[in-house]
Structure 1
């Protein structure tokens, strides 16, 4: 059975990780393809979901690295734009828990220069779900064009948004201002607990979910790292614990979770339209699967999601929460 097509729109970033103990006076970096939307597209394709990536890819050394990585993972790049601008670079330094702190080199780079004509050429007729988010939705000049494209696509496709707040590049106030617009057309809002704190400081998970439901989103999923995830479908909530994992780093784990969630929903015929057939038990199953995908991503260096054949973790019991 061929699974429904998921189209991912957004950036592909060169993630440069500091290498421990370089020669004195030198800084050694290991560069891997990254960027939240690109990571999600790769994870979807590796799981077996047809994944098409709408991206602006440079022809520089990083852009060539991106293309090779995406195509080797099975991502469809036929709709990607060949961009004259340079690629975006993010330098990541990992702490003792595998959490990354980033510095970005993103001024005038390819990812943010979308034009209305470029996106007008994208055919979404066969797309069941359109996923986007991260910096592509807030970095100008392309951010408002991407937002308008998602709003139009919501008439036929399920829309999934991951804010993936990056305060070093875009002030959280910008995300807060734009989020109500995204909630009006999004069917799925997937974000981290860190995002929640930046978007709605002081809000509990439950209060935040209710606020976003009121703004129009049927399904809100908040990942909480080693404490698992909470999902809320129109106010009916489930909690999913994180599977055991030997954490090397957490880079790309949230993106892999999103891919696992969409893959599972698509495999059960639940993507397309406004999720009117979705039930909370479906959400529980999808989040449990997504947690397994994220756990495997944490076990390797960088944003390197698993292939379908690697999913051999035992199922973890999950439970409902009140509220």
Structure 2
């Protein structure tokens, strides 16, 4: 069966990783396509979920790199805007644990210039889930248009948001002020433990989840790196371990986790609408699969999520039902 369409809205960023230079006084850079929403769209497409990416892509050297990368991964760019502004550049330096520290070159770049008219042209009739977040939701001048677009989409689609907090570019007060509105819009809130500490310092995971449920979001998933993830469905919680992996770096791992989560929910027929049929066992299964996707991403350089053939995929719901009726074993 074909899986439901997931539309992803947000930025595509040139991730420039520092490298030792062969000549003294120089700095080497290796540039890879990145940006949280773009990484999520790529991971979804590679897993086999139809993924449409709403992006403003420049025609500069980085924009051409982005297009080639996204199209090679099977991402639908038919609704992407060809932007006159330059691409966003992020320079990443990795620590001993493979975690990246970023500096951004993002003033006046293409990703943040969304207009209401650009987004109004997007047909949402076949979108089961709209995923967004990261900087496109908080960077002016397009942030308001993006938030309004999510509100419109929530009438028919499951809404997934990843705040992906970047205090170097946007003050924490902006995230804290807007997050209750996002919770009122969203069905799924996925964020890292680092995000949690920035947004609600001193809060336990349980207290934070309860606060966000009270604001309106039914499913909260908090990823914890090598300690796995904790998910809370309207206050009912489950913990998911992380698979053992040899970490090269953690760039894009959270984005891959989100893609794995949405892919699994889509394969089980649970995307579309308000997640009213979702149960905590479904959440555990989806997070367990998502953790496998994230672990494989950590095993390679940069935001390079796995392809479907690299891991065991969930069986779509109709196939599972057919196998049960035939007396087969459900995998």
Cα deviations by residue, 1:257-301 (Å, 9 ceiling, x for unpaired): 000000000001000000000000000000000000000000000
- In 2, Cα distance between equivalents of 1:91 and 1:245: 26
Q: Which residue in the other structure is 1:130 paired with?
A: 130
How far apart are 1:51 and its partner, in Å? 0.1
- In 1, Cα distance between equivalents of 2:94 and 2:25: 20
The equivalences for 1:219-298 within 5 A come to 219-298=219-298
The equivalences for 1:39-188 within 5 A come to 39-188=39-188
Q: Which runs of 5+ in 2 are unaligned?
A: 314-331
Q: Which residue in the other structure is 1:320 paired with?
A: none
Helix, strand or coil for the counterpart of 1:272? coil
Q: Which residue in the other structure is 2:207 paired with?
A: 207
Q: Which residue in the other structure is 2:319 paired with?
A: none
How far apart are 1:23 and its partner, in Å? 1.9
Helix, strand or coil for the counterpart of 1:300? coil
- In 1, Cα distance between equivalents of 2:21 and 2:206: 44
Number of equivalenced pairs: 313
How far apart are 1:22 and its partner, in Å? 3.4
- In 2, Cα distance between equivalents of 1:133 and 1:229: 19
- In 1, Cα distance between equivalents of 2:197 and 2:143: 22
Deviating beyond 6 angstroms after TM superposition, the runs of 4 or more aligned structure 1 residues are: none
Q: Which runs of 5+ in 1 are unaligned?
A: 314-323
Q: Which residue in the other structure is 1:321 paired with?
A: none
How far apart are 1:21 and its partner, in Å? 4.5
Helix, strand or coil for the counterpart of 1:16? strand
- In 2, Cα distance between equivalents of 1:259 and 1:128: 14
- In 1, Cα distance between equivalents of 2:285 and 2:109: 39
Cα deviations by residue, 1:88-130 (Å, 9 ceiling, x for unpaired): 0000000000000000000000000000000000111000000
